[in-house]
A and B are shown apart, each in its own frame.
Chain A
């Protein structure tokens, strides 16, 4: 029943974020009403891009929060002795937590884009499914790196506020540092669609960057493996 426990632990965070993200979509819907003319197509696409930028910010905040918790936090709360006495390995415990977080993260990425896609039909300016899919995939595949990083931070730091603060700090820091020295590898720009944007149509164009995606997922996986190692070494 570790899945049930994990759900109980993340339920309120997840639902709050889902409501915020859905609320954001509602705002977007409100704005599209003013762009119903075909000649304003490019502006409509630019609006979609802007929507995505906001979505990226909200989404990253959400998954960093979802990545918090776990055994180290339980130690501070006093329940780690119960969890660790279960006949379950620490890797398994982390695995379930990560799986729940990943599913929740994907949901938080797919639901808004699915909603935007559906609503665009209702408002008479249907966007291509391919566009919605492009945005959503970039967000989730690249963004899971942020989630994995949050999981790693929460496996190292006990504090209820220090862990997320450090995690957000790292997000911010990497965004700036990569932009200064390794622009082409800046995850934020990957996730927000910056690398694939056609500045004439304001659509994401070109083939889907599978290599970039795989690279991101590999980095995320490495961080999760590191988290397992950290937990296995740690004393409770």
Chain B
């Protein structure tokens, strides 16, 4: 499993890592029960702070995608709840794919589409922002 983190984009590295792990779980590149590299190992491999990896793993554990077992490491767990969440995500992605195709047909560039999403996501300011 290869992760690629880009520090210059402005997106926190731990979020990038979380996204990539989630993506791997959704697409099946990482199987249920599979073990992820230890925090130290992954941090050294990616050359990022161990706290970054720890934070990503911890947040994913909150979301129910990872299980952190004391002494053994981080394991992928696609629990029932998260399995259905994954299904939701797959449905959402299908809808988004259609929408994006439509927007492209309307002549929007990908960059414009992305920025529009960002803007809309920010507004209105919801309490979900931590």
Q: Please tell me whether chains A and B touch each other in their complex, using a CB distance cut-off of 8 A.
A: no
